[in-house]
C-alpha cells in the first residue's frame, strides 16, 4: 500500500514545482492587475471630471458665467481656430518664448559654466546672481516698462529672466558634482582644458542641465502669461484680455488650456531629449 503522506517528484518531472514559484507567480499577477487598474484610473479620472462638470453645468449647479461648460469651451476654441485668431496668437506667443528662452539658455548656461569651473568667477558672479534671484520677477514689470516701453522688449526680457536662473543654478551645481578624479585623469592624459570641458564636463553635467531646462520652460510659459498682459496687441495674452473685455469666459478658459498644452508639449520634447541623452551616455 502506497504511503499517502509523501510524494516526491524526480528532477525534470513536469509535475515538479519549485518552492515559492506559485507565490511569485501570484504576486506578479497581482502586480500586473494593480498596474492596469492604476492606468485605467488615471485615464478615466479626467473624463469623469469633465462629465461631472458638463452635467453640473446642464443642471444649473455650476453658473455658466463663472465656469462655462466643457462643450462651450470647445465651441469657443473652434470659433477662434476658424477665424484664424488662435493660430496668430500661438505664433506670437511661441516667438516670444523662443527668443526669451534662447537668451535665458545662453546666459544661464554660460554663467553656470563660468561659476562651476572657476572659484574666482564663483566669488565674483554668484553673490550678484543670488541677489537678483531674490527679487520678485513680476515686480520688475513696472521698471521694465519705464526702461523699455510697452513693446516686445519687456515681454522677452521677463521670459528670459525667468528662464535664466534654473539653468544657471543647475549648470553650476552639475559641474561642481563632476568627479575630480576624472578631471585629473584627463589632465594626466594630456587633454587640453577646452577638450576636457567639451568631452568630459559638459556631457557629465548634461542630465542636470536638461532638468534645469525643463524648469526653465515651465517658468518661461508662466512669465509669458504675465508678460502678455503688458499692453500686448498679439499673442494668447492679448486673446485672453480681449475676451475679458467682452465677458467671454469661455475663450479665457480655452486660452489658459492652450497655454497649459504648449507647456506640456515643450516639456515632453525636453524629456524625450533627456531620455535620449541618458541612453546615449549609458552605451
Q: What residue ranges define each of the domains in the chain, with the CATH number in brackets?
A: 79-282 (1.10.3720.10)
Task: Dump pLDDT digits (tens) for 71-117.
Answer: 899 999 999 999 989 999 999 999 999 999 999 999 999 999 999 88
Confidence check: pLDDT of 151 > 70? yes
Phi, psi of 11 (to 5 degrees): -60, 135
Residue range 43-55: mean pLDDT, rounded:
84
Task: Report the half-sphere exposure of 217 (CA within 13 A, side-chain side).
Answer: 20
Other beta carbons within 10 angstroms of residue 229's beta carbon come to: 15
Rounded Cα gap, residues 58 and 55, in angstroms: 5
What confidence score (pLDDT) does residue 5 get? Answer: 45
Name, in order, each residue with C-beta under 8 angstroms of 12's C-beta and a sequence gap of 6 or more: none
Confidence check: pLDDT of 7 > 80? no
Rounded Cα gap, residues 219 and 236, in angstroms: 16
Contact 70, 54 (CB under 8 A): yes
What confidence score (pLDDT) does residue 225 get? Answer: 86
* Ranges 2-6, 43-47, 99-103: which has the least confidence: 2-6
Which of 145-149, 163-167, 196-200 has the highest mean predicted lDDT (pLDDT)?
163-167
Rounded Cα gap, residues 229 and 255, in angstroms: 13
Amino acid at each position: 500500500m502506497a504511503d499517502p503522506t509523501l510524494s516526491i517528484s524526480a528532477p525534470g518531472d513536469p509535475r515538479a514545482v519549485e518552492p515559492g514559484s506559485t507565490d511569485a507567480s501570484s504576486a506578479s499577477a497581482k502586480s500586473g492587475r494593480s498596474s492596469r487598474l492604476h492606468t485605467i484610473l488615471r485615464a478615466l479620472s479626467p473624463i469623469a471630471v469633465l462629465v461631472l462638470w458638463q452635467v453640473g453645468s446642464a443642471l444649473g449647479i455650476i453658473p455658466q458665467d463663472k465656469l462655462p461648460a466643457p462643450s462651450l469651451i470647445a465651441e469657443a476654441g473652434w470659433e477662434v481656430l476658424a477665424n484664424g485668431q488662435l493660430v496668430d496668437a500661438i505664433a506670437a506667443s511661441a516667438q516670444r518664448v523662443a527668443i526669451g528662452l534662447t537668451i535665458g539658455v545662453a546666459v544661464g548656461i554660460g554663467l553656470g559654466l563660468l561659476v562651476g569651473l572657476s572659484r574666482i568667477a564663483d566669488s565674483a558672479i554668484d553673490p550678484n546672481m543670488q541677489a537678483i534671484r531674490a527679487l520678485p520677477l513680476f515686480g520688475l514689470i513696472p521698471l521694465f516698462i519705464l526702461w523699455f516701453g510697452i513693446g516686445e522688449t519687456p515681454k522677452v526680457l521677463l521670459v528670459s529672466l525667468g528662464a535664466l536662473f534654473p539653468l544657471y543654478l543647475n549648470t553650476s551645481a552639475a559641474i561642481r558634482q563632476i568627479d575630480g578624479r576624472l578631471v585629473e585623469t584627463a589632465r594626466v592624459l594630456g587633454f587640453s582644458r577646452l577638450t576636457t570641458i567639451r568631452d568630459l564636463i559638459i556631457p557629465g553635467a548634461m542630465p542636470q542641465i536638461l532638468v534645469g531646462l525643463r524648469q526653465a520652460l515651465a517658468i518661461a510659459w508662466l512669465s509669458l502669461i504675465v508678460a502678455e498682459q503688458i499692453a500686448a496687441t498679439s499673442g494668447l495674452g492679448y486673446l485672453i484680455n480681449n475676451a475679458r473685455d467682452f465677458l467671454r469666459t469661455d475663450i479665457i478658459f480655452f486660452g489658459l488650456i492652450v497655454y497649459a498644452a504648449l507647456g506640456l508639449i515643450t516639456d515632453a520634447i525636453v524629456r524625450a531629449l533627456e531620455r535620449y541623452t541618458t541612453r546615449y551616455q549609458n552605451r
